[in-house]
Amino acid sequence: MKKNNLYILTLAVLLGFSSCIDLDRYPLEELSNESFWKTANDAEMIVSDLYNGLPYWDIDEDINSDNAVHGIKWSAGNVSKGVYDPQDMDWKDNYLRIRQANLILSKIDEVPGYEESEKQKVLGQTYFFRGFQYFNLIRTFGDVPYVEKPLLLSDQKDITRTPRAEVYDKVMADFDKAIEYLPVQWDAAEYGRVTKGAAMAMKARAALYYGNWDVAAKNAKSVMDLGIYDLYDKDNTGKYEELFWKKADGCDEYVLVRPFKENDNDWYLIGWETFPTKGWGGLNPTQSLVDAFEDIEGAPIAKSPLYNEKKPFENRDPRLEASVLHDGEVLYGKTVKVAPLKSCYPTGIGQHGDATATGYYLQKWLDPSVDPSSDGWHMGKDAILIRYAEVLLTYAEAMNELHPLSTKAFDAVNQVRKRVGMPELQQNDPSKPTYCATQDDLRQRIRNEWRVEFAFEGGKRQWDIRRWGIAKEVLNAPFLGLKYKLVDSPDAQKEDGGKICILYEGENIKLARSKYEDHNYVYPIPQKEIDLNKNLKQNPGY
């Protein structure tokens, strides 16, 4: 008999036998209810397994936006090409985690002698993860089935999709419970556990997505008022790029992470995303992203007197160098050469199937202390799910919508800018490129901060362009790489056919564009679920 992927129908639940530190080990066996729920440790083991539902490969999701294309061509999914196929969609793991959370909530009162303070910690984590999973579901699919108890087979025949607005209200209620029960901080041995601040920040993220500015601002401000988070290198000593290296793990900017340990629970970040010594490029930044970084005086490059198109990486926002690997840089003992010539193998454009398609590679996350040919495959860098810069930009955006040109909005966004030495946005001096005369001026500058600060993190860009209503504009526009031209030269190497390449002149590389229509604001419901349950109707347009 077929089993519906939406629900786990067995009486057993997968349990993680993980210590308080190792939150990411997968379940080793199944235990039945009859032999479980006897001690507090039983509940704590199940809640530990919920952490396996935290994402870490969502870095790759920038290909579903205008930030990047996939250099490893065979791995580019259909969505990045503008193909939203119901057959590709899945929500099985979301509902697995939801079932686990519902099971905890329905059984935890059966545990005898459970100390109330410890019980509340488990409840806080459980409510957080249920809210987290449902938020991701409604953001992706819109209306989804909402269940708040473990279902029996007989319960499922009437399951339908619950309106998104109703699920959203329940998500916010779950986050409120998490905020109530979770501690502000855990002991060091519990590193990686969800905190009160993480629940507030996630609630703010959900509210921001649906334009609930007041809720977003209040929860972001609550995180700020905790006084335990701060920007890494806030005094701008030139260490911004270290924020994405292993040495920053455990820093005050990280609000929620998924811990990793090399040679234990690796995630192959360097090996996949950009293996510079081999020219492998998991993510290739687009020209559009490169152009989004301002000049060092805070002017967009289209209006910049400092910008030199032939030397495009000079006099730019320092975050550009921290994010984008370009021609002439030396990393891991290899000089990156991107010209489409044989002498530039393996990093040159089109020199093999996994080489850069745009002329750029990803640099964020490339830790120079790691040997990419060995340790790069076993990298221990924590995956960052929420950092304090997100909280500040959430507050800035929400406050500008609530109170146009609010000084509090300026202060929050400028903290993020000052950390890398970028000049403050302001409303007093029209002669400076940082001047914001209107609410929309500041709105657009804050939106650009989201893009350049969080490029290649959590796939944020694809959701931002949806919530701002600009996905159609940016995804249907031409996707471009850098400019170059080939010219004849008697001094060129023979293997290059007498040609030399001049970068940053000529025509931009033209890439296969994506495609977006209005109904793509949400993804199609997984076809496998509709086939199993005829009560589930497909989203319009699919």
pLDDT of the residue at 34 = 66
DSSP 522: S
In a domain, 526, yes or no: no
Whether pLDDT at 268 is above 90: no
Q: How many CB atoms lie within 10 A of CB 157?
A: 9
Retrieve residue 325's tokens: 């690997």
Whether pLDDT at 29 is above 70: no
Whether the CB-CB separation of 510 and 478 falls below 8 Å is answered with yes
Using a pLDDT cut of 90, give the percent of the chain over it. Answer: 77
pLDDT of the residue at 73 = 84
Whether pLDDT at 19 is above 70: no
User: Which residue is associated with the tokens 């347009």?
Assistant: 541
pLDDT tens-digit map of 342-396: 999 999 999 998 999 999 999 999 898 888 777 777 778 899 999 999 999 999 9
d(Cα 406, Cα 131) in Å, to the nearest integer? 31
DSSP 359: S
pLDDT tens-digit map of 290-324: 999 999 999 999 999 999 999 999 999 999 999 99
Residue type present at position 224: M
- What range defines the domain where residue 371 resides? 260-381
d(Cα 176, Cα 353) in Å, to the nearest integer? 48
Q: Which residues contact 5 (CB under 8 A, 6 or more apart)?
A: 90, 91, 92, 95, 526, 528, 529, 532
Whether pLDDT at 473 is above 70: yes
Whether the CB-CB separation of 391 and 315 falls below 8 Å is answered with no
Can you say whether the dihedral through the CA atoms of 110, 112, 117, 122 is positive or negative? negative
pLDDT of the residue at 74 = 85
User: Which residue is associated with the tokens 């992927």?
Assistant: 5
Mean pLDDT of 498-522: 95
pLDDT of the residue at 35 = 75
In a domain, 73, yes or no: no
DSSP 363: -
pLDDT tens-digit map of 102-114: 999 999 999 999 9
pLDDT of the residue at 408 = 98
pLDDT tens-digit map of 36-80: 888 999 999 999 999 999 998 888 899 999 999 988 888 889 999
Instruction: Please state the domain count of the chain.
Output: 1
In a domain, 311, yes or no: yes
Q: Greater confidence, 6 or 166?
A: 166
pLDDT tens-digit map of 422-433: 999 999 999 999
Residue ranges of alpha helices (H) inside 68-115 are 92-107
Please report which confidence band the pLDDT of residue 7 belongs to, taking 50, 70 and 90 as the band edges.
Answer: very low
d(Cα 61, Cα 77) in Å, to the nearest integer? 10
In a domain, 423, yes or no: no
d(Cα 401, Cα 405) in Å, to the nearest integer? 9
pLDDT tens-digit map of 122-163: 999 999 999 999 999 999 999 999 999 887 655 666 789 999
In a domain, 104, yes or no: no
In a domain, 520, yes or no: no
pLDDT of the residue at 371 = 80
pLDDT of the residue at 155 = 63
DSSP 532: H
Mean pLDDT of 83-101: 95
Average pLDDT of the chain is 90
d(Cα 394, Cα 391) in Å, to the nearest integer? 5
d(Cα 344, Cα 500) in Å, to the nearest integer? 11
Retrieve residue 30's tokens: 């199944």
Q: Which residues contact 312 (CB under 8 A, 6 or more apart)?
A: 290, 504
In a domain, 146, yes or no: no
Please report which confidence band the pLDDT of residue 4 belongs to, taking 50, 70 and 90 as the band edges.
Answer: very low
In a domain, 338, yes or no: yes
d(Cα 218, Cα 541) in Å, to the nearest integer? 36
H or E element that contains 530: helix 527-532
pLDDT of the residue at 6 = 32
Whether pLDDT at 14 is above 60: no
pLDDT of the residue at 33 = 61
Mean pLDDT of 205-231: 98
Is the backbone peptide bond immediately before 346 cis, with ω within 30 degrees of 0?
yes
The string over 283-313, giving b where at least 16 C-beta atoms fall within 10 Å of a residue's C-beta and e elsewhere, is bbbbbbbbebbbbbebbbbeebeebeeeebb
Whether the CB-CB separation of 433 and 299 falls below 8 Å is answered with yes
Whether pLDDT at 27 is above 50: no
d(Cα 303, Cα 294) in Å, to the nearest integer? 10
d(Cα 304, Cα 479) in Å, to the nearest integer? 23
Smallest Cα–Cα separation from 397: which of 437, 447, 454? 447
